[in-house]
Copies of this chain bind each other. A is one copy, B any other.
Amino acid sequence: MNETSAGSRKPFRRLLLTGASGNLGRQLRDALAAWADIVRVSDIAPMSAAAAHEEASVVDLADREAVMHMVEGVDAIVHLGGISIDAPFDDLIEANIRGTYNLYEAARKHGVKRVVFASSNHAIGFHPVTEVLDADAPQRPDSLYGVTKCFGESLSRYYFDRFGIETVCLRIGSSFEEPKNPRMLVTYLSYRDFIELVRCSLFTNRVGHAVVYGASDNPIKWWDNTKANFLGFRPRDSSTQFSDRFPVTSPTAEYDDPAQRFQGGMFVLGEPMERSA
């Protein structure tokens, strides 16, 4: 991507990043600096010190007024905030359902027209590992967490059809420094590819309401991004370099293990949790 002329202005005046203290949020902070004059970083948890170009704010997404304030004056939003693991449903309601609603309402009221929404492969985790999915595959959440990601996809669809707010739903695989288990050889999304995926989602001229899978160019593919080719996302990394870490075994072990049969892996074995007292 070329630099804009004469140093002064970057493509965006102000971007908002939610979930900025999380694993992926931390990866993005540097990248966003190149794309916007000001980056507003937000989380419910404390963050590392804000850089000169950053505005930091600690916000509970379930707090409507705080969210409204957080969104004011931004051009676009990268929404990584909320709970990103399975959790008691009461908690998921606050962070992922009420929180996402608050975010979109704030976007609507403040005229924000583009959201990059961190959905998850767990929105489709109950598809078997022998199926290759594209953007039109039906949702098959593998957990209550996954159900709340489906909710986010539905809600953002509504805000697009009704109010014209564009969203790219990133069905992120496993974005870590490196794969932690054999399943992640399939679902691995390198940090570099993750950042590129966000870049494409922010800068593509029109995205409508799009669904795109977030995985690097790994040998085994469960997901086919052909229908999202208009975003121009091309992963450059691959899990191949990590394949030595996991011993190759006969596939006949644990034949009936559901965690081996479904794309969601261990998530499909979870059960709704009680909120601890």
Contacts and interface: CB of A to CB of B under 8 A. Distances in A.
Contact of A130 (B131, B139, B141, B210): B210
Given A141-B158, A248-B1, A231 B220 contact: yes
A250 B131 CA distance: 34
Contact of A229 (B108, B220, B228, B243): B220
A110 interface: no
Contact of A4 (B230, B248, B260): B248
Nearest to A204: B251
Copies in the complex: 6
A231 B186 CA distance: 10
B157 A182 contact: no
A144 to B, nearest CB: 7
A232 B252 CA distance: 18
A132 B12 CA distance: 27
B158 A182 contact: no
| Most chain B beta-carbon contacts within 10 A, residue among A113, A208, A243, A272 | A272
Contacts of A55: none
Contacts of A268: 161-162
Interface of A: 1-2, 4-5, 11-13, 75-76, 89-90, 93, 97-98, 101, 105, 108, 113-114, 126, 128-132, 136, 138-144, 146-147, 150-151, 154-155, 157-158, 161-162, 164, 182, 202-208, 210, 219-222, 224, 226-232, 234, 243-252, 255, 260-261, 268, 271-272
